Chains A and B, each alone.
Chain A
C-alpha cells in the first residue's frame, strides 16, 4: 500500500518530506503538493500518514496483490498520547482500534548530561549508565568468570 496524497487536502507543508525514512515523499513541481515519487520503495510504514497535519495522505494496497476498495486510516494524537485506527474491508466491514503511544509529555526525557557526573572508576567498570540501580536486581551487574571457557569442537582450522 504505497502512500498517495489527496489533492484537495494537502497544503504543501512539508512534514511528510521531512519525516519519510525512505526519502520518497517529495513536492510536485506543478501543484506544490506532496506525492510519493517511488511507490516501490515504500514500506507502508505510515510515518508520513501519521505526520500529516491535514490527514491528506492515505495508502492504497500494493497493486500487485491488494484489490481495491479497502481503507486503513489513522489518527495519531500526540497531545492525547493515542493512536486510533479505522479499517474498512473491501466488502465494507469495519474495525476500530485505539492504543496509547506514550505515557509522559513529549520532550520530558532528561538529557544524560543533567545526571551527576560519573567517576573515573565508574568509567573503568562494566556498568552502563543508570546501572546497577536500573537493573532492579540484588548483587549488581551479572558477570562471567573467564575460567569457564570451553572451546568449540575445533579451535579454528
Chain B
C-alpha cells in the first residue's frame, strides 16, 4: 500500500485542478484563521505589550546579537526538539506527532502539485509521516492527555480543546485508510474514507480560530521571551536558582494520584 499515490488515483475521477484548489483553500484558511485569531483576541498585541513591560522592568540590557542567538536557541531547542515539555513521554509523543505531521503536510503538497513524476520515496514518506503522527497522537490521546491522566476523565469525553488533536488524528488516520482502501481496489470503502479524509482535513485547517492550532505560532514566541527574561535576569519575577549542588533527588511522581 505504501507505493500508491492516493492523489494520483483520485485525479482519475476528480480533475487535478480541483484537488489543488482545495489544498490552496486550506492554506488560505490557516493563514486567514491565524490572522483572525491574533487580531480578534489581541494576542499579538498582548505579546508586544508584555515584551515592553518586561523591558521596562529592567534587568541587564541585551544586544541585538544576543537576542538573535537566543532566537536561534529557541528554534533549535525549544521548537525543533520540543524541549519545553517536562514529561519526557509527552515530549516524545509531541515530536512524533509534530514531525510526522510536517512530513505528511510537505509530502501532501508534493503529491498534489508534483504531477505524475513523484518518486516512490515521497509516497512512502506520506504514509510514514501519517503513521508517525498517528503513533504520537494516539499515545497522547489515550494515555498522556491530562484530561485522562490527571483528571481521570474517560478518553472518549470530547471537549473543545480536543478539536485540534481529534481533527488531526481523523485526518491522518482516514488518509492512511483511504490509501489502504485504494491499494485494495478502491470501491465504496475508498470513497467513504475519502469523504472522511476531506471532512476531517477541512475541520482541521478551517477551525484555527476555535482550536489550539494557533499554539504553533505563539508557543515559539513565548519560548523566546522566556529565554530573554532568563538572560536579562528578570525571570518573570522568579528568584534565581539556589547556589547549592543538587544531590537529594526528587519526589516527583506521575500526576495520577487518585
Residues of chain A whose beta carbon lies under 8 Å from any beta carbon of chain B: 6, 8-9, 11-15, 17-19, 26-32, 53-55, 58, 71, 73-75, 77-82, 84-86, 88, 96, 98, 102, 104-107
Q: Which of A8, A11, A104 contacts B218 (CB 8 A)?
A: A8
| A30 contact set on B, CB distance < 8 A | 159-161
Does B151 contact A11, Cβ atoms closer than 8 Å?
Answer: no
* Chain B interface, DSSP helix/strand/loop, else mixed: loop
| A82 contact set on B, CB distance < 8 A | 242, 244
| A6 contact set on B, CB distance < 8 A | 236
| Binary per-residue interface labels of chain B (230-255) against chain A in the complex, 1 for a CB within 8 Å, 0 otherwise | 00000011111110111111111001
| A80 contact set on B, CB distance < 8 A | 241-242, 244-248
Q: Which of A29, A55, A78, A98 contacts B159 (CB 8 A)?
A: A29
Does A29 contact B247, Cβ atoms closer than 8 Å?
Answer: no
Q: Which of B226, B239, B247, B249 contacts A84 (CB 8 A)?
A: B239
Does A27 contact B146, Cβ atoms closer than 8 Å?
Answer: yes
Binds A, one of B79-87, B129-137, B182-190, B200-208: B79-87
Q: Which of A17, A28, A75 contacts B150 (CB 8 A)?
A: A17
Cα A14 to Cα B225 in complex, Å, equals 23
Known: A27-B147, A80-B246. 8 other contacts (CB 8 A): A8-B225, A13-B146, A14-B151, A17-B146, A32-B146, A32-B147, A80-B245, A84-B241
Of listed B146, B151, B252, residue having the most chain A CB within 10 A: B146
| B242 contact set on A, CB distance < 8 A | 75, 77, 80, 82, 84, 98
Contact A18/B251 with A12-B146, A26-B151, A75-B238 known, Cβ cut-off 8 Å: no
| B247 contact set on A, CB distance < 8 A | 79-80, 105
Closest residue of A by beta carbon distance from B91: A11
Closest residue of A by beta carbon distance from B251: A106
Q: Is B191 an interface residue (CB 8 A)?
A: no
* Chain A interface, DSSP helix/strand/loop, else mixed: loop
Cα A55 to Cα B226 in complex, Å, equals 11
| A18 contact set on B, CB distance < 8 A | 150, 255-257
| A81 contact set on B, CB distance < 8 A | 244, 248
| B150 contact set on A, CB distance < 8 A | 13-15, 17-18, 27
Contact A11/B248 with A31-B161, A86-B239 known, Cβ cut-off 8 Å: no
Cα A81 to Cα B250 in complex, Å, equals 9
Closest residue of B by beta carbon distance from A14: B150
User: What are 17 inter-chain pairs, A to B, with CB distance below 8 A?
Assistant: A8-B225, A9-B226, A11-B84, A13-B150, A14-B256, A15-B255, A17-B255, A30-B159, A73-B236, A73-B237, A74-B238, A75-B240, A75-B241, A78-B252, A79-B246, A79-B250, A84-B240
Does A28 contact B248, Cβ atoms closer than 8 Å?
Answer: no
Cα A88 to Cα B248 in complex, Å, equals 30
Does A107 contact B212, Cβ atoms closer than 8 Å?
Answer: no
Does A27 contact B237, Cβ atoms closer than 8 Å?
Answer: no
| B151 CB to nearest chain A CB (Å) | 6
Closest residue of B by beta carbon distance from A80: B244
| B36 CB to nearest chain A CB (Å) | 16
Does A73 contact B146, Cβ atoms closer than 8 Å?
Answer: no
| A86 CB to nearest chain B CB (Å) | 4
Cα A115 to Cα B151 in complex, Å, equals 37
Closest residue of A by beta carbon distance from B210: A30
Of listed A17, A28, A75, residue having the most chain B CB within 10 A: A17
| B258 CB to nearest chain A CB (Å) | 8
Cα A1 to Cα B150 in complex, Å, equals 24
| B85 CB to nearest chain A CB (Å) | 6
Q: Is B66 an interface residue (CB 8 A)?
A: no
Cα A15 to Cα B244 in complex, Å, equals 25
Does B222 contact A9, Cβ atoms closer than 8 Å?
Answer: yes
